[in-house]
């Protein structure tokens, strides 16, 4: 059984990790983005209809931190897309369960995309379904399933969510 103090610390840890994660993307520090994950992580962007039907596809589907690094290398050096930024607005993180040191959490997000032209739209809303595990230097995501509320994506998805 955890003490009240432990629970409070877990909540703070989970919320801080999520806040730092969103800031990393929004501030275009994408080279640091994979470091929020453990080496043998899962990262997947899906939507609620596929997720509820148990369909395994991801718009992005990664099974290692190395695949996340490759995604950023490609974005920076290979892929062609119009300059754009994200602004994440995230809810407080809910702890769904905890066992043997790992935390399962969910966090709602609203993702606004800002184009170079100034066009500003709600690009995505949804829920992060996360599994967090402690590392030597803090916590990291073992799993992050991004479940978008809509199956539709305007134009393209370049920057990770």
Determine, following the binding rule CB under 8 A, whether residue 8 of this chain makes contact with other proteins: no
Smallest separation (angstroms) from other proteins to the CB of 36: 17
Q: Which is nearer to other proteins, 8 or 66 (CB)?
A: 66
Window 34-63: residues binding other proteins (CB under 8 A):
45-47, 49-50, 55-63
Q: Which is nearer to other proteins, 29 or 49 (CB)?
A: 49
Q: Regarding beta strands 120-135 and 138-148, do their DSSP bridges make them parallel or antiparallel, or are they unpaired?
A: antiparallel
Considering Cα of 142, then 134, then 34, then 69, what sign does the dihedral take? negative
Per-residue tokens: 76: 């920076």
How many chain residues are in contact with other proteins, going by CB under 8 A? 36
**Structure tokens given for 116:** 């170079």
Nearest CA among 38, 16, 48, 60 for reference residue 160: 60
* Residue pointed to by tokens 């066992």: 99
- Binding residues (CB under 8 A) for other proteins: these are 45-47, 49-50, 55-64, 66-67, 69-71, 73-74, 77-82, 151-158
């Amino acid at each position: 059984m955890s003490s009240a103090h432990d629970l409070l610390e877990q909540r703070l840890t989970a919320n801080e990790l999520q806040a730092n994660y969103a800031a990393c993307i929004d501030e275009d520090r994408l080279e640091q983005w994979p470091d929020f994950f453990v080496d043998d992580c899962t990262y997947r962007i899906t939507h609620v209809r596929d997720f509820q039907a148990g369909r395994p596809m991801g718009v992005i589907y990664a099974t290692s931190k190395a695949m996340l690094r490759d995604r950023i290398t490609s974005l920076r050096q290979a892929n062609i897309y119009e300059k754009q930024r994200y602004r994440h607005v995230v809810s407080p993180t809910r702890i769904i369960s905890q066992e043997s040191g790992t935390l399962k959490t969910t966090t709602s997000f609203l993702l606004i995309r800002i184009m170079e032209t100034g066009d500003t739209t709600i690009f995505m809303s949804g829920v992060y379904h996360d599994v967090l595990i402690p590392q030597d230097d803090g916590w990291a995501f073992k799993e992050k399933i991004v479940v978008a509320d809509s199956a539709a994506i305007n134009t393209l998805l370049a920057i990770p969510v």
